[in-house]
Amino acid sequence: MIRKIYLVPLCLAFMMLNAAAQPADRYTLLKPDRVFDGETMHEGWVVLVKNKNIIEAGALQLKLPAGTEIIELKGATLMPGMIEGHAHLLLHPYNETPWNDQVLKESRAERIARAVTHAKATLLAGFTTVRDLGTEGAAYDDVGLKTAISKGIIPGPHLLIATKAIVATGSYGPKSGSPDIEVPKGAAEAANAAELVAEVRNQIGHGADIIKIYADYRYGPNGEAMPTFTADELQQAGEVARSSGRPLVVHAVTVEGMRRAIAAGAATIEHGDNATPEIFALMKANGVALCPTLAAGESVLRYNGWQKGKDADPERIMAKKKSFAQAMQSGVRICMGGDVGVFTHGDNALEMELMVEYGMSPLAVLQAATSVNADVFGIAGKAGRIRPGMPADIIAVNGNPYLDIRALRSIVLVMKQGVQYK
């Protein structure tokens, strides 16, 4: 018998082997009662995910690919993975260990171990992206944490990191109590414009996505908050940061500190406790957003003995409520960021509950934690919305947070880049 032998060209053989080795596309259809797309609530929508991305979002009118996994989410609201705008994954609540002791007495290994658990708790709470605004004495450990998450070594949210943060020499803690004893600091110090610019470039070189600077701090003659860097120093630092494609993020609680930060081109002002209507108008005119960190302020007061709901509101809370109302009236963009680390990681929704309590509508709060944060942080094409072509960073909550923001406590699905974590 004569057999015909067909020789397959070597390049074609490799292509056939490679095709056989490729995993099949994975399709998942999510069927909730409603979908919040980052801007608007929609009844009767479904979302189709292919591998890592969203490919369809809307009324079910398509023929599903064979093998599609269908996840029924009765009674649930589907929404983009939320974005935490102000966190410190390398810190934990101050009523557990004071900030000074965390910086001076906890080993870097312990702090990293804690950060790993914080990252997982944050993700499972429905926050698929986090802006981490300073390692507070843990050097560049946020760089390694971000890398470990991106490689899939540990579960956690996407990270935007600031590494050390920058403060004026002599302004920041910890303080030893003796002028003769120097102790490690919780941030990088700079004494003049040249040092400030050099430190900005140094942090960029070490992997910072964000440049965070303290425009003021508690170092006035009587320990009151006062501006630290001059307007010119901040402007030079801001110019260097922006020229590298990195936003300038500024801690500021004094009117003058905020004024200098706005002039320097800050993308966001963190805290903004003593801002006035004039400052908010200036922020709006210059495209500067506010990250109010309501939860941190309330948490610190509770640690000091304030019993919310039983005791009268302290002056600081009354002032913050007034300032927050003025911010809303001004039309300035308001981010969602609680300064998590001052309070418990995974309890991030506390900030959103307080935003509603202080007068913001639930819809505006949901937008702040998704599309607004994405736009302000420069990641609008990567997070904050449910639409075809976006990464499948999606969560589902039991109930309707548009009607009751506390529904965000009941997470029933967490998906990050198409992978289900909950």
Give DSSP secondary structure letters for 77-115: EEEEPEEEEEE-TT---TTTS-HHHHHHHS-HHHHHHHH
Average pLDDT over residues 16-29: 72
pLDDT tens digit sequence for 61-77: 778 899 999 999 999 99
Q: Which residues pair with 334 in a beta bridge?
A: 290
| The predicted structure's pLDDT at residue 14 | 43
Q: Which two tokens stand for residue 345?
A: 């990681």
Q: State yes or no: pLDDT of 16 exceeds 60.
A: no
Q: What is the mean pLDDT of the chain?
A: 94
Domain ranges of the chain: 24-80+388-420, 82-347
Helix/strand/coil for 67: coil
pLDDT tens digit sequence for 241-283: 999 999 999 999 999 999 999 999 999 999 999 999 999 999 9
Instruction: Confirm or reject CATH 3.30.1320.10 for domain 82-347, answering yes or no.
Output: no
| The predicted structure's pLDDT at residue 359 | 98
Task: Give the contacts of 213 (CB within 8 A, at least 6 positions apart).
Answer: 165, 166, 167, 196, 229, 234, 237, 248, 249, 250, 251
| The predicted structure's pLDDT at residue 22 | 66
| Sheet (strand 166-168) strand order | 188-190, 166-168, 211-214, 248-252, 268-271, 289-291
Helix/strand/coil for 244: coil
Question: How far is the C-alpha of 56 from the C-alpha of 389, rounded, in Å?
Answer: 8
Helices 231-243 and 255-263: crossing angle in degrees, nearest 10, is 40
Q: State yes or no: pLDDT of 35 exceeds 90.
A: yes
Q: Which residues pair with 87 in a beta bridge?
A: 132, 340
Question: How far is the C-alpha of 326 from the C-alpha of 329, rounded, in Å?
Answer: 5
pLDDT tens digit sequence for 166-201: 999 999 999 988 988 999 999 999 999 999 999 999
How do 158-161 and 166-168 pair as beta strands? unpaired
Residue pair 374/382 in contact (Cβ under 8 Å)? The answer is yes
pLDDT tens digit sequence for 80-90: 999 999 999 99
| The predicted structure's pLDDT at residue 6 | 37
Average pLDDT over residues 346-362: 98
Question: How far is the C-alpha of 69 from the C-alpha of 219, rounded, in Å?
Answer: 58
Minimal CA–CA distance to 270: which of 285, 239, 291, 254?
Answer: 291
Superfamily of domain 24-80+388-420: Urease, subunit C, domain 1 (2.30.40.10)
Residue 2 banded pLDDT, cuts 50, 70, 90: very low
Q: State yes or no: pLDDT of 293 exceeds 80.
A: yes
